[in-house]
Amino acid sequence: MNKHFTKILCISLLLNFLLVEDQLKALVPYYYLPTIKNLEKESLSIGRNAYQLLYFGQIKESLNLAKLAVKINKLDEKLWLILSESQVANKLYEEALISLKKAEKLNPNLSEIYFSKSNIFFKQLKLKDAKIALKSGLKITPKNHNAIFQLGNIFLMEKNYSAAINIYERAVQIKPEFWQAINNQGLAYFEQDKINLSIKVFKKAIALEENAEPLLGLASCLRIKDINSAILLAKKALIRNPNYVEYDYRKEQLWGEKLQISTEKLLKNDQLQKDIRKAKLKINQSS
């Protein structure tokens, strides 16, 4: 065969091959294999959706999505953090701690990991472990006022009132309008029998936010010296948050025994009985 014929034959064979390939494509389904980058993007998107579901209270759905995100991408510490938050919401505390350990291995310099650990230990009343975790996180981000506040709460629970007051002051220096830290100083001062200081900081907290807690705290401080003002403040507090009528609820807010006793005596006042009944009715209606 001459070169010209050979060339024609080659072209003919190539055309036949291309035609057969097109026919095969029409018969065989085409599968897209995602790249690693695309998988990472998809896992982050799923993680964000899991976090949004958690925010809106859909805790089981959030947990399922968070698990899927981690399954797709096990090398992103943020996804492990989201999974741990979903696990905490579902009260799977030990599983959440395992997730946080995995996040810590990936990025030991992320303070949120240690703050999340502390939150779990706090819920489990493992105050020593919670304190250690908080201090580890604060070494990385020393000006995190929320973490400092939580550290103050631990000292308050341990009845180390002087330490708690000093820690709360650190939080207020970073965020002057942090009324919650100022309020908790009032809780600590009352347990130290420093009623005048307690009155001062409760008033300062109220000036920033007329919340039920400092209102009722101040009312309990004024119970003996100025019962009329105490009753007005207590009425206002119970309107803002009826839950403060309950001893156990106040205990959850870290109220000490001395303040609890004073508050219980105040709430026995005849002029508050109608307000107390209304508060309890609201609680029952909302439960």
CA distance 68 to 66: 5
The answer to whether position 141 is within a domain reads no
Quote the number of domains for the chain: 2
One domain for residues 200 and 278 = yes
User: Of 104, 95, 98, 93, nearest to 126 (Cα)?
Assistant: 93
Could you say which of 82, 107, 132 is where a domain stops?
Answer: 107
The encoded tokens of residue 130 equal 């919670």
Residues with Cβ within 8 Å of residue 256, at least 6 apart in sequence? 156, 159, 187, 188, 190, 191
One domain for residues 181 and 103 = no
* pLDDT in the model for residue 39: 67
The answer to whether position 70 is within a domain reads yes
One domain for residues 188 and 267 = yes
What is the gyration radius of the CA atoms in the chain, in angstroms? 31
One domain for residues 188 and 273 = yes
* pLDDT in the model for residue 43: 86
Residue whose tokens read 């550290």: 151
46: domain CATH number is 1.25.40.10
CA distance 51 to 86: 8
97 φ, ψ (degrees, to nearest 5): -65, -35
* pLDDT in the model for residue 41: 75
The answer to whether position 31 is within a domain reads no
The answer to whether position 3 is within a domain reads no
Output the tens digit of pLDDT for each of the chain's 287 residues: 444 444 443 434 334 444 444 444 444 455 555 566 676 778 888 989 998 999 899 999 999 999 999 999 999 999 999 999 999 999 999 999 999 999 999 999 999 999 999 999 999 999 999 999 999 999 999 999 999 999 999 999 999 999 999 999 999 999 999 999 999 999 999 999 999 999 999 999 999 999 999 999 999 999 999 999 999 999 999 999 999 999 999 999 999 999 999 999 999 999 999 999 999 999 999 87
Q: Could you give the C-alpha distances from 177 to 200, 209, 212, in angstroms and in order?
A: 15, 9, 17
Domain residues for 216?
177-282
CA distance 197 to 218: 11
The answer to whether position 268 is within a domain reads yes
Could you say which of 60, 87, 107 is where a domain stops?
Answer: 107
Q: Model-level pTM?
A: 0.83
* pLDDT in the model for residue 218: 98
One domain for residues 191 and 271 = yes
* pLDDT in the model for residue 196: 98
User: Of 178, 154, 209, nearest to 218 (Cα)?
Assistant: 209
The answer to whether position 34 is within a domain reads no
Could you say which of 87, 107, 127 is where a domain stops?
Answer: 107
User: Of 236, 205, 223, 213, nearest to 265 (Cα)?
Assistant: 223
The answer to whether position 14 is within a domain reads no
The answer to whether position 263 is within a domain reads yes
CA distance 14 to 28: 21
